[in-house]
């Protein structure tokens, strides 16, 4: 056999190195095992988390059954409320994430109500959330301030409503710091406590209550001022009055009559006394000013210290009572009551007449006169003889006719 006919030599097989696979395949197998292990572990963890989330809302808390009260401030965010719950031991710190997710899932984060909430340490998350979104009972106090009440009477009304003693309330009404903050030029808030029916929080302070009433006065007054600009300008030009003087005059009108239809006419009489050059001296001579000086002032005159509810000659002639419009010309130093809208408007829209005097007809209306002689005749008829009118506006107008 020649060389051309010889068989090719066999290719030698590689020698196997034990039973291990090649390195690349080993790495692939390891990676696969790790992936599968991770997926299995993730699945088991996810299952556990899911089960915890499912059972979490109904799982009792770890605390005791003792009562825990939390005051949620108005406007507090849910994270702030959650911080309160954790600090009070209502929600365990290690379950804060669960509780947050639970509340967000329910869409209740923005439904938490402000106010006092009562919890226990063993409450379930569902019970905790139910308490957080519970509608708070409105603890409001309804207070009615009638027209014609001064600060002494208002203090009694507020005291009866539960806002403190009359003395403490009056102290706030006369507090110089509060008066300065409210820009009231006077010894008290007299004249600015608007008569109305209010709903106050039972937890409101006396200052908050007073501020609310004063705010209502200013709101009403501003509305009237917009509708009576010319009248306000006329009072400024003719008498040098500002807003306070208008309030003082309105308080006199408020105290002089309970008949609403008479208020513009009585306001006109007072303004006539101040405006008519022939009327001298310019004393308004209204009894309620004497009574106010003898009852509502802190420092009273010697005559007022003897006041027992009835005006006597010593009170009419008392020059030391600065509110006495029988001895002092013009307006008293301040309001003598808290006027309502009708009395304020009567000053800004008085009924024009030539009347300078009026006297009660003993039926809650008045007889009006242009001269002192007419007035004295009416005083004789109604005050000394005791005549009584018929309570009608027409009757008063007839008696007042020239």
Task: For residue range 274-292, list pLDDT tens digits in order.
Answer: 999 999 999 999 999 999 9
Question: Residues with Cβ < 8 Å from 361, sequence gap 6 or more?
Answer: 367, 382, 387, 388, 389, 395, 396, 399
| Whether residue 171 sits in one domain with residue 107 | no
Nearest by Cα to 49 from 97, 93, 103: 97
Check residue 10 and give its pLDDT.
Answer: 56
Low pLDDT (below 50) residues in the chain: 1, 4, 394, 401-402
Give me 289's structure tokens.
Answer: 């000013």
Compute the Cα dihedral for 224, 228, 231, 232 and give only its sign: positive
Residue given tokens 């003087």 in the structure block: 245
CATH number for the domain that contains residue 185:
3.30.1490
* 78 domain-assigned: yes
Choosing from 110, 132, 154, the residue where a domain stops is 132
Compute the Cα dihedral for 208, 210, 214, 217 and give only its sign: positive
Check residue 402 and give its pLDDT.
Answer: 47
Nearest by Cα to 100 from 85, 115, 117: 85
Q: What is this structure's pTM?
A: 0.70
* 94 domain-assigned: yes
User: Which residue range forms the structural domain that includes residue 398?
Assistant: 356-402
Give me 114's structure tokens.
Answer: 């402000």
| Whether residue 106 sits in one domain with residue 175 | no
Q: Are 255 and 288 in contact (CB under 8 A)?
A: yes
| Tally of domains in the chain | 3
| Whether residue 112 sits in one domain with residue 82 | yes
Check residue 176 and give its pLDDT.
Answer: 97
């Amino acid at each position: 056999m020649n060389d051309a006919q010889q068989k090719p030599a066999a290719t030698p097989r590689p020698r196997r190195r034990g039973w291990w696979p090649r390195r690349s395949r080993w790495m692939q197998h390891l990676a696969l095992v790790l992936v599968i292990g991770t997926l299995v572990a993730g699945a088991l963890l996810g299952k556990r988390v899911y089960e915890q989330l499912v059972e979490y809302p109904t799982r009792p808390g770890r605390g005791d059954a003792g009562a825990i009260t939390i005051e949620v401030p108005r406007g507090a965010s849910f994270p702030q409320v959650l911080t309160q719950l954790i600090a009070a031991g209502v929600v365990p710190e290690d379950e804060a994430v669960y509780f947050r997710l639970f509340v967000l899932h329910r869409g209740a984060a923005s439904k938490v109500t402000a106010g006092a909430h009562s919890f226990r340490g063993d409450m379930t998350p569902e019970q905790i959330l139910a308490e957080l979104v519970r509608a708070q009972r409105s603890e409001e106090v309804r207070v009615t301030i009638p027209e014609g009440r001064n600060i002494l009477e208002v203090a009694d009304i507020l005291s009866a409503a539960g806002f403190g003693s009359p003395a403490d309330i009056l102290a706030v009404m006369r507090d110089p710091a509060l008066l300065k903050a409210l820009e009231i030029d006077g010894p008290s808030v007299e004249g600015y406590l608007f008569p109305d029916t209010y709903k106050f929080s039972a937890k409101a302070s006396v200052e908050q209550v007073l501020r609310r009433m004063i705010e209502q006065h200013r709101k009403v007054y501003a509305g009237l001022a917009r509708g009576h600009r010319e009248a306000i300008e006329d009072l400024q030009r003719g008498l040098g009055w500002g807003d306070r003087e208008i309030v003082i005059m309105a308080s006199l009108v408020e105290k002089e009559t309970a008949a609403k239809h008479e208020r513009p006419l009585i306001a006109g009489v007072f303004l006539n006394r101040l405006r008519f050059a022939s009327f001298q001296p310019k004393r308004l001579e209204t009894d309620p000013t004497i009574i106010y000086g003898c009852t509502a002032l802190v420092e009273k005159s010697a005559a007022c210290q003897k006041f027992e509810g009835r005006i006597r000659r010593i009170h009419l002639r008392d020059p030391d009572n600065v509110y006495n419009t029988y001895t002092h010309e013009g307006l008293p130093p301040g309001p003598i009551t808290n006027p309502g809208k009708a009395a304020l408007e009567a000053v800004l829209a008085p009924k024009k007449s030539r009347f300078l005097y009026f006297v009660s007809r003993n039926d809650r209306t008045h007889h009006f006169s242009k001269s002192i002689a007419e007035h004295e005749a009416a005083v004789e008829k109604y005050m000394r003889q005791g005549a009584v009118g018929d309570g009608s506006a027409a009757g008063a107008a007839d008696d007042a006719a020239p």
